[in-house]
Structure 1
Amino acid sequence: MVYRLINAVWIICSLFISVNTHAQNTTTLNQLDEEINALVKQHNVASVSYAIIKNGQPTHINTLGFANLETHSAVNDSTSYRIASISKMIVGIAVMQLVESKQLQLSDNIKTLLPDLKFENSWSSSHPLKLVHLVENTTGWDDISLREFAYDNSAQLPLIEVLAINPASRTSRWPPGTRHAYTNSTAAVAALIVERVTGMTFERYAQQYIFAPLNITNASYEIAPPLLATGYTQQLTPQPYKPVLMSHAGSLIMNISDMAKLLSALVSRDPLLLSESSYKRMEYSTSTNVGNFNAGYGIFNHARFYDGWRFRGHDGAMRGWRSELSYSPNNSTGFVVLQNTENNAAFRAIVDKIRTFATSHFSTKTDEQSFQAPPKSLQGYYRYQNPRNQMRWFLERLVSPYQLTIYDDSAVFSSVLPIGWNRKLHYQEDGTWYNDKGEPVAMHTVDPLLGEVLHYGDRVLVKTTMFAAWIDKVVLVLWLLMLVAMIPISLFWLVKLVTKKYSSPIQKNARLITMYVALSGWLVLIFLFIGMQAPIPRLGAMNVISVGLMLATILMALCTAAAIYFYIKHLGNQTSRIATVTSGVLVLCQSAVVCYLAWFGVIGIQTWV
């Protein structure tokens, strides 16, 4: 899951890097097609297919590139793509259909619906786990492990067997119904509930009640169906088809024509699927601390703001594939983008181009909202407290702080890292923050464990200090600088060691142990970097990289501890002040890093478990 964090940071950064590409507005579909074709060539993308509905006009579909680079097979509107997590929207629609038919209620207790499902909830008496928590991802569960992501589900295991593989991940980390935390297992559990209630496999149910009514003819959960494109890495290395474990969370395969039909149904509120009220219910959250929230994750349906305009939908990512379905029902507009290349920069550039075109006719609300001066007491630093995956929190925590700066009549909410992300906000006295388009995006409320919190979209943030927001980053940068500086220093010391320039054993050992400390730090960084390039195959199984990372973290802790012991024992016995300062700063920084990693359980980490 580490790569998802890196991708998220890159997406945020790319939004600002690509600002200049919006200087000239695209006015026609032909011009848009030409500009996207240029982006496909510029970024060396195998293919992209997209569909656009603008202001209720007929759907525009276009396909560019190759479904398979080896055979030079051109992509067309019948070419199928893996849509990854957009698959969850089908589960959400199925659940809402059963709610409409009164076979389910969102308030149903999971223990009643699935008495044989294993999960842990320490707050079951006050906060029992309900169906609404599954479909809005407010269970508090960890996301599935790298091992589960790496699992080859060629056997297409039944859902109950899939969910038996790692029940430990289904442990609520906070009271259900308080904070959002995205996880793939909730969609699998919800799909199992659909199967139990209807007596049908989920695939058969989806075909009969969702795909058939919309005349979607090529949607498939099968393994590598005909007309499926080949997925590619950013370097255009073809990726073999691997069936995912949580199939209903991410294994659906569709072509752009069928995706356009689904998009049209969501934009137009097609009664063949759901009633108007059910469509609306999918598009806001109810089961967090703030209650009804338009900026929250709805029923497998997320909020995304483009230039301040609120879109609903979902996106998807897996190795070799990127996808997004976003729509604005209030403006009768939406789009789908499917890409068979794992290139985030290209994907965001294409989506930005399409969404800029799609929103060009939007107009700001005419009824001016009245805002108040924000209380100065709200100003300060905040850190979110609802990580998706606890194992990766040691990395995600580095980009978790935000800053709220209060002005006379507005505020700016900005990230500490990456630098440059910011949003202007307006305040109402009920504790709600709005963006410039009048959309509610954040609310102050109370969490049963954290106390006063700020919900910004899916994030749940608690106030912190400037010192706490910056200290981990300062130490990290200083440690990295010391590791880099140790490269020439170590070479210099090695020459002197080989030529026996150090007469004292203490001088010799002090330099050796400092080099061991630096080497152990570099080993952790190298194994982590290599693993992060392809985390699912490299860290999701027991292999040289994953075991190497585990051993490197242990070695780093041992070398650092040995260095501390050595310097305490021989304090004042070294003759070189420069060597003493260099060693002291490195060991001090690495000690802080080791303590940080140990606190979050990274020393001796077994990523494949």
Structure 2
Amino acid sequence: MVTLKTFYILLFASALFCPLKAQQSVPHLESCTEQLKKQLDTVIRNEHIPGLMVAIVKKDRILFADGIGYADLEQHRHVSPHTAFHLASITKFFVAMGVQQLVANGKIALTDRIHDIAPEIPFTNPWEATDPVRVVHLLEHTAGFSDVELNSMVNISGKPLTGLDALEAVSNSLTVRWRPGIKTSYSNPGYNVLGYLIEKVTGMSWDVYIEQTLLSPLGMDETLFDRNGQRRPQFATGYDFQNGVHRPMPFYLPSGNGAGSALVSTANDMAKFLYYLLNGRADSSLLRPEDLTEMETVHSTLAANAGLQTGYALGNDLFPNNKKVSFRGHNGKGEGFVSWVFFNREAGLAYAISANAVVNLWPVSQAIEELLTQDIEAPKLTTFPLDKDSIAPLLGHYQFTNPKNERWEFFKRIFGHIELQHISGDKLIVDKGNGQIDSLLHMGNGIFRLQGDILPYFILARDAAGRPFFQGYGNGFYRPVSYSSVLIRQVPIYLGLIALAVYFLYSCVGIILTLLRKMKPIDLFIPLLPVLGTFSFLFAFRTMGLTDASHKELFASFNWTSFSIFAGMLLFAILVISSSVLLYRRWTYFNGRWFGVLLAFSHFFIGYLVVLLVINGWIGVPIWMM
């Protein structure tokens, strides 16, 4: 793989070849893009990227719209400007533009209640009477829905899902977990609901509507929404790179109605789209500049109401990738593809990249942004001192509260703990634990930026009820807690893990003692069974990760893989309970000995781990029936 050292050498070479200039001629830009293409060719070889789609646009011209590498390794088919890549979640930006068109035409409003537009949608909101789910909440991922569950990530029915059937397929994620409009939690099923709303309002399929009102006016004839999972001649093949081998990935039917993931496009078409974003069009069917500005505005979160405008807006987010200008856009990750679309309309810069392998696109992105921003100077930023009396009541320990999925990310609620400190001046210190400390610079009104960033991504404020909150680290939302409550939740888990480690060592010694007939086999099973259960759990967890990466369809039905994940996790609980029964039966032998007390202590905290996993749905829940 390419090293950072190699990558920076390439960037340095580019800087020498394309020096900074106040005014750039077209030949100069063309020479720079040729040099960039050579850099990217080196990067994809070293990063094991089969092929790369690239579209680079400035306000006055399309600089580059082409491909590098192979669209299909087996057929030795090269990527061309017309090779189609699956762009996954970038679909959401296009769906949001479709919704914004309806808003601009007066067909719906961002504040409309979902229940009023389509009362048949199967969602649950305990706060619906006072805090209903609105259109803007779906667009900004602030409805409180979970992300898609494992058994709903792909459609194995063999036909595209439409209408309410598509929403029923993801209904296990459509339960509101907190009052809508407080915080962001990324949810693919929320965009399935938006697709259905487009259909309800327009009377046509959501993808047909977007094709007619956006793609066709822009001449994006090579772009489509792949809702049937069929291979087409112009499609690039996605790959999974493992152990030095590229394995072709399947083409899945998308989850739900595909409104969160079905977009397929080419470098040629994405260049047209980006040029439109930067320049607009007089065509009345397209969004006006003021509509696009509305899409870049964050409306619904507590952080936005308190003044922070860096966050997920209407189908797009703001990214801190560059130290000269800010880029807004979306990224996508699907089976064998990873894609980024970034733009800055004010600066007149935009680019889209997609690789047909799940890799880190950061080196590619940085090389392109080096070209686009070489004649731009970094902004000079001003900070403001914090008022000690005002900041003091807001300091202390905070807990993370908004995981994407409550089942699989419950541990983030437990371990997502930070401490806010203020020493003096304009700095807010964030202690993330394990020696990780960030220094945030105050930009005024409780808004902060990370040292080295040009935009603020953090805010420390109070809600309408006067309760403090902190938002930062990728739209993470934190509430104040006492340190004792943090310890109460974390310490038993650490003790349970320590107990399992002790039992592992005890079992190793016990096996030897049993073979030497100095220990009874029944006493060996007391520590050995939890250890075997732990290995069973880890095997199931590993299988789940590998399946998620390359065979998601196996989650959606009963098969050996899905059953082995279920059984492996369940076996952990069964073996721990069996060990506890053995300890109880042998207690008279251990009673009065410090060793017996140690075993009981260990079993208690291992049992705590089992209960915690059962409560959070990791044990005893068939994945194919979630």
TM-score of the pair, normalised by structure 2: 0.84
Q: Distance in 2 between matches of 1:113 and 1:385?
A: 30
Q: Distance in 1 between matches of 2:421 and 2:383?
A: 21
Q: Distance in 2 between matches of 1:401 and 1:539?
A: 32
Q: What corresponds to 2:398 in structure 1?
A: 382
CA contact 2:155–2:553 (8 Å) conserved in 1: no
Q: Distance in 2 between matches of 1:341 and 1:412?
A: 39
* Match for residue 611 of structure 2 among 595, 599, 606: 595
CA contact 2:322–2:369 (8 Å) conserved in 1: no
Inter-CA distance 159–349: structure 2 relative to 1 (3 Å threshold)? farther
* Match for residue 507 of structure 2 among 490, 505, 508: 490
Q: What corresponds to 2:357 in structure 1?
A: 341
Q: How does 1:184-583 map to 2 (within 5 A)?
A: 184-222=188-226, 223-235=230-242, 236-246=246-256, 247-272=258-283, 273-292=286-305, 293-307=308-322, 309-343=325-359, 346-365=360-379, 368=382, 370-373=384-387, 375-397=391-413, 400-411=416-427, 416=432, 422=438, 424-428=440-444, 430-435=445-450, 439-446=455-462, 451-456=467-472, 458-465=475-482, 483=500, 489-502=506-519, 508-535=521-548, 536-564=552-580, 566-567=582-583, 570=586, 573-574=589-590, 583=599
Q: Distance in 2 between matches of 1:180 and 1:333?
A: 27
Q: Distance in 1 between matches of 2:239 and 2:488?
A: 39
CA contact 1:306–1:355 (8 Å) conserved in 2: no
Structure 2 residue 605 is matched with structure 1 residue 605: no
Q: Distance in 2 between matches of 1:475 and 1:32?
A: 53
Which deviates more, 172-181 or 283-292? 283-292
Inter-CA distance 565–356: structure 2 relative to 1 (3 Å threshold)? farther
Q: Distance in 1 between matches of 2:417 and 2:318?
A: 21
CA contact 2:526–2:583 (8 Å) conserved in 1: no
Identify which of structures 1 and 2 has the higher relative contact order when contacts are C-alpha pairs closer than 8 Å and 6+ apart.
Answer: 1
Q: Distance in 2 between matches of 1:596 and 1:20?
A: 46
Structure 2 residue 43 is matched with structure 1 residue 39: yes
Q: What corresponds to 1:3 in structure 2?
A: none
Structure 2 residue 113 is matched with structure 1 residue 109: yes
Query: What letter is aligned with 2:290?
Result: S
Which deviates more, 86-95 or 330-339? 330-339
Give CA deviations for 1:258-313 in whole Å, capped at 9, x if unaligned: 11222222233445421121111111211122345421211111121114553211
Q: Look up the SS of the partner of 1:545 in the other structure.
A: helix
Cα displacement (A) at 1:580:
6.0
Query: What letter is aligned with 1:509?
Result: I
Q: Distance in 1 between matches of 2:559 and 2:433?
A: 33
Query: What letter is aligned with 2:73?
Result: L
Paired positions, count: 587
Which deviates more, 79-88 or 447-456? 447-456
Inter-CA distance 423–396: structure 2 relative to 1 (3 Å threshold)? same
Query: What letter is aligned with 1:387?
Result: P
Inter-CA distance 435–508: structure 2 relative to 1 (3 Å threshold)? closer
Q: Distance in 2 between matches of 1:54 and 1:232?
A: 31
Give CA deviations for 1:332-389 in whole Å, capped at 9, x if unaligned: 222211011122xx42332343334444444344574645356244444432211111
Which deviates more, 114-123 or 392-401? 392-401
* Match for residue 56 of structure 2 among 52, 59, 73: 52
Q: Distance in 2 between matches of 1:189 and 1:314?
A: 19
Q: Distance in 2 between matches of 1:183 and 1:195?
A: 20
Q: Distance in 2 between matches of 1:29 and 1:401?
A: 45
CA contact 1:521–1:556 (8 Å) conserved in 2: yes
Inter-CA distance 133–552: structure 2 relative to 1 (3 Å threshold)? same
Q: Distance in 1 between matches of 2:35 and 2:602?
A: 56
Cα displacement (A) at 1:487:
5.4
Inter-CA distance 537–203: structure 2 relative to 1 (3 Å threshold)? closer
Q: What corresponds to 1:6 in structure 2?
A: none
Cα displacement (A) at 1:243:
1.3
Inter-CA distance 394–115: structure 2 relative to 1 (3 Å threshold)? closer
Unmatched runs of 5 consecutive residues or more in structure 2: 16-31
TM-score of the pair, normalised by structure 1: 0.86
CA contact 2:497–2:606 (8 Å) conserved in 1: no
Which deviates more, 293-302 or 271-280? 271-280
Give CA deviations for 1:108-157 in whole Å, capped at 9, x if unaligned: 12122112212111111211221111111111112222111132254112
Q: Distance in 2 between matches of 1:200 and 1:321?
A: 29
Q: Distance in 2 between matches of 1:261 and 1:153?
A: 35
Query: What letter is aligned with 1:100?
Result: A
- RMSD, matched Cα: 3.3
Q: Distance in 2 between matches of 1:298 and 1:597?
A: 35
CA contact 2:383–2:441 (8 Å) conserved in 1: no
CA contact 1:211–1:217 (8 Å) conserved in 2: yes
Give CA deviations for 1:566-598 in whole Å, capped at 9, x if unaligned: 546655844998976885675355234223323
Q: Distance in 2 between matches of 1:120 and 1:41?
A: 49
Query: What letter is aligned with 2:361?
Result: F
Q: Distance in 1 between matches of 2:436 and 2:38?
A: 30
Structure 2 residue 81 is matched with structure 1 residue 64: no
